[in-house]
Amino acid sequence: MSKLEELLNKLCSDGVEFIKLDKCLSYEQPTKYIVKCKDYIETGLPVLTAGQTFILGYTDETEGVFNASKDNPVIIFDDFTTSFHWVDFDFKIKSSAMKMLRPRADMNISFRFVYYAMKCIKYQTLEHSRQWISKYSQLEIPLPPIEVQNEIVRILDCFTQLEAELEAEL
Protein backbone atom coordinates (compact mmCIF):
# COMPACT_ATOMS: atom_id res chain seq x y z
CA MET A 1 0.00 0.00 0.00
CA SER A 2 1.38 3.43 -0.95
CA LYS A 3 1.78 6.29 1.49
CA LEU A 4 -1.05 8.10 -0.25
CA GLU A 5 -3.38 5.10 0.08
CA GLU A 6 -2.50 4.85 3.77
CA LEU A 7 -3.25 8.54 4.33
CA LEU A 8 -6.52 8.30 2.42
CA ASN A 9 -7.62 5.24 4.40
CA LYS A 10 -6.61 6.81 7.71
CA LEU A 11 -7.75 10.41 7.20
CA CYS A 12 -10.45 10.27 4.53
CA SER A 13 -12.42 7.12 5.27
CA ASP A 14 -15.67 9.13 5.07
CA GLY A 15 -14.60 11.01 1.92
CA VAL A 16 -13.45 14.61 1.64
CA GLU A 17 -15.19 17.95 1.74
CA PHE A 18 -15.47 20.14 -1.33
CA ILE A 19 -14.76 23.85 -1.17
CA LYS A 20 -15.42 26.73 -3.57
CA LEU A 21 -12.28 28.30 -4.99
CA ASP A 22 -13.20 31.73 -3.62
CA LYS A 23 -13.19 30.29 -0.10
CA CYS A 24 -9.55 29.23 -0.39
CA LEU A 25 -8.14 31.81 -2.83
CA SER A 26 -8.12 35.59 -2.88
CA TYR A 27 -7.48 37.63 -5.99
CA GLU A 28 -5.77 40.88 -6.86
CA GLN A 29 -6.49 43.07 -9.86
CA PRO A 30 -3.44 43.65 -12.11
CA THR A 31 -3.84 47.37 -12.77
CA LYS A 32 -0.65 48.53 -11.05
CA TYR A 33 1.41 45.70 -12.61
CA ILE A 34 0.57 46.29 -16.28
CA VAL A 35 3.60 46.89 -18.48
CA LYS A 36 3.68 50.31 -20.13
CA CYS A 37 5.97 49.58 -23.06
CA LYS A 38 4.79 47.46 -25.96
CA ASP A 39 8.22 46.83 -27.48
CA TYR A 40 9.70 44.01 -25.46
CA ILE A 41 13.42 43.36 -25.12
CA GLU A 42 15.51 40.16 -25.00
CA THR A 43 16.34 40.25 -21.27
CA GLY A 44 15.05 41.87 -18.11
CA LEU A 45 11.81 41.44 -16.22
CA PRO A 46 9.37 38.95 -17.79
CA VAL A 47 6.06 40.23 -19.17
CA LEU A 48 3.44 37.51 -18.69
CA THR A 49 0.13 36.41 -20.10
CA ALA A 50 -1.87 33.46 -18.83
CA GLY A 51 -2.23 32.04 -22.33
CA GLN A 52 0.00 29.45 -24.01
CA THR A 53 2.69 32.00 -24.82
CA PHE A 54 3.13 32.73 -21.07
CA ILE A 55 6.28 34.91 -21.35
CA LEU A 56 5.61 37.50 -24.05
CA GLY A 57 9.01 39.14 -23.70
CA TYR A 58 10.96 41.24 -21.24
CA THR A 59 10.97 44.83 -20.05
CA ASP A 60 13.40 47.09 -18.23
CA GLU A 61 10.59 48.76 -16.26
CA THR A 62 11.20 48.80 -12.51
CA GLU A 63 7.95 50.37 -11.27
CA GLY A 64 4.86 48.29 -10.57
CA VAL A 65 6.59 44.91 -10.43
CA PHE A 66 4.58 42.01 -9.03
CA ASN A 67 6.80 40.23 -6.51
CA ALA A 68 6.59 36.46 -6.46
CA SER A 69 9.15 33.85 -5.40
CA LYS A 70 9.53 30.15 -4.59
CA ASP A 71 8.41 31.01 -1.04
CA ASN A 72 5.65 33.37 -2.18
CA PRO A 73 4.24 32.10 -5.50
CA VAL A 74 1.11 33.24 -7.30
CA ILE A 75 -1.27 31.85 -9.90
CA ILE A 76 -1.94 34.21 -12.79
CA PHE A 77 -5.42 33.69 -14.17
CA ASP A 78 -6.82 35.02 -17.46
CA ASP A 79 -10.31 36.27 -16.69
CA PHE A 80 -11.60 35.70 -20.23
CA THR A 81 -10.08 32.35 -21.19
CA THR A 82 -9.65 30.84 -17.67
CA SER A 83 -6.11 29.83 -18.61
CA PHE A 84 -3.65 30.04 -15.72
CA HIS A 85 -0.01 29.52 -14.73
CA TRP A 86 2.01 28.99 -11.55
CA VAL A 87 4.53 31.81 -11.15
CA ASP A 88 7.39 31.95 -8.65
CA PHE A 89 9.42 34.90 -9.99
CA ASP A 90 8.91 38.68 -10.28
CA PHE A 91 7.03 39.90 -13.36
CA LYS A 92 4.89 42.49 -15.11
CA ILE A 93 1.51 41.75 -16.68
CA LYS A 94 0.39 42.41 -20.26
CA SER A 95 -3.36 42.73 -19.75
CA SER A 96 -5.95 44.00 -17.31
CA ALA A 97 -7.86 40.78 -17.97
CA MET A 98 -5.71 38.95 -15.43
CA LYS A 99 -6.14 38.08 -11.79
CA MET A 100 -3.33 37.20 -9.41
CA LEU A 101 -4.50 34.42 -7.11
CA ARG A 102 -3.06 33.60 -3.70
CA PRO A 103 -4.21 31.42 -0.81
CA ARG A 104 -6.38 33.02 1.84
CA ALA A 105 -4.45 33.45 5.08
CA ASP A 106 -7.20 31.88 7.16
CA MET A 107 -7.12 28.58 5.25
CA ASN A 108 -4.93 25.60 6.08
CA ILE A 109 -4.29 24.54 2.49
CA SER A 110 -1.43 23.64 0.22
CA PHE A 111 -1.49 26.35 -2.45
CA ARG A 112 0.23 23.97 -4.86
CA PHE A 113 -2.54 21.40 -4.23
CA VAL A 114 -5.17 23.99 -5.15
CA TYR A 115 -3.23 24.72 -8.36
CA TYR A 116 -3.18 21.03 -9.29
CA ALA A 117 -6.89 20.71 -8.42
CA MET A 118 -7.65 23.68 -10.71
CA LYS A 119 -5.80 21.88 -13.51
CA CYS A 120 -8.39 19.09 -13.19
CA ILE A 121 -11.37 21.39 -13.65
CA LYS A 122 -13.07 20.90 -17.00
CA TYR A 123 -14.54 24.31 -17.69
CA GLN A 124 -14.93 26.11 -20.98
CA THR A 125 -16.67 29.34 -21.68
CA LEU A 126 -18.04 30.43 -25.01
CA GLU A 127 -18.75 33.97 -23.92
CA HIS A 128 -16.22 36.80 -23.83
CA SER A 129 -16.82 37.92 -20.25
CA ARG A 130 -15.03 38.09 -16.93
CA GLN A 131 -15.07 34.59 -15.46
CA TRP A 132 -13.33 34.63 -12.06
CA ILE A 133 -15.84 36.46 -9.88
CA SER A 134 -19.08 35.36 -11.51
CA LYS A 135 -18.39 31.73 -12.34
CA TYR A 136 -14.95 30.16 -11.99
CA SER A 137 -14.41 31.11 -8.33
CA GLN A 138 -17.67 29.34 -7.50
CA LEU A 139 -16.41 26.00 -8.78
CA GLU A 140 -15.57 23.45 -6.11
CA ILE A 141 -12.47 21.35 -5.58
CA PRO A 142 -11.92 18.46 -3.17
CA LEU A 143 -10.07 19.48 -0.03
CA PRO A 144 -8.61 16.51 1.81
CA PRO A 145 -6.62 16.96 5.04
CA ILE A 146 -3.34 18.86 4.65
CA GLU A 147 -1.26 15.67 4.98
CA VAL A 148 -3.05 14.20 1.97
CA GLN A 149 -2.70 17.46 0.03
CA ASN A 150 1.05 17.51 0.69
CA GLU A 151 1.51 13.90 -0.43
CA ILE A 152 -0.45 14.50 -3.64
CA VAL A 153 1.67 17.59 -4.34
CA ARG A 154 4.88 15.63 -3.71
CA ILE A 155 3.81 12.96 -6.21
CA LEU A 156 2.63 15.42 -8.87
CA ASP A 157 5.73 17.59 -8.50
CA CYS A 158 7.89 14.48 -9.08
CA PHE A 159 5.92 13.65 -12.23
CA THR A 160 6.18 17.25 -13.41
CA GLN A 161 9.95 17.23 -12.93
CA LEU A 162 10.33 13.89 -14.73
CA GLU A 163 8.19 15.15 -17.60
CA ALA A 164 10.33 18.29 -17.90
CA GLU A 165 13.52 16.19 -17.95
CA LEU A 166 12.10 13.92 -20.65
CA GLU A 167 11.02 16.88 -22.77
CA ALA A 168 14.49 18.42 -22.40
CA GLU A 169 16.09 15.16 -23.58
CA LEU A 170 13.80 14.93 -26.59
The 10s digit of each residue's pLDDT in 79-134 is 888 999 999 999 999 989 899 999 999 999 999 999 999 999 998 877 777 899 88
Angle, helix 3-11 to helix 146-169, in steps of 10 degrees:
160
Classify burial at 33, counting beta carbons within 10 Å of its beta carbon; exposed 0-12, middle 13-18, buried 19 or more: buried
- Contact indicator for 12, 28 with CB cutoff of 8 Å: no
Contact between 128 and 3 under an 8 Å Cβ cutoff? The reply is no
pLDDT digits (tens, 9 = 90+) for 27-69: 999 999 999 988 999 999 999 998 888 999 999 999 999 999 9
Longest dimension (CA), the chain: 55
CA 168 to chain centre: 23
Residue 103, classed as helix, strand or coil, is: strand
Q: What is the CB neighbour count within 10 angstroms for residue 85?
A: 17
Q: Rounded to two decimals, what is the model's pTM? A: 0.90
Which domains does the chain show, CATH number per domain?
A: 17-143 (3.90.220.20)
Task: Tell me the C-alpha distance between 75 and 118, whole Å.
Answer: 10
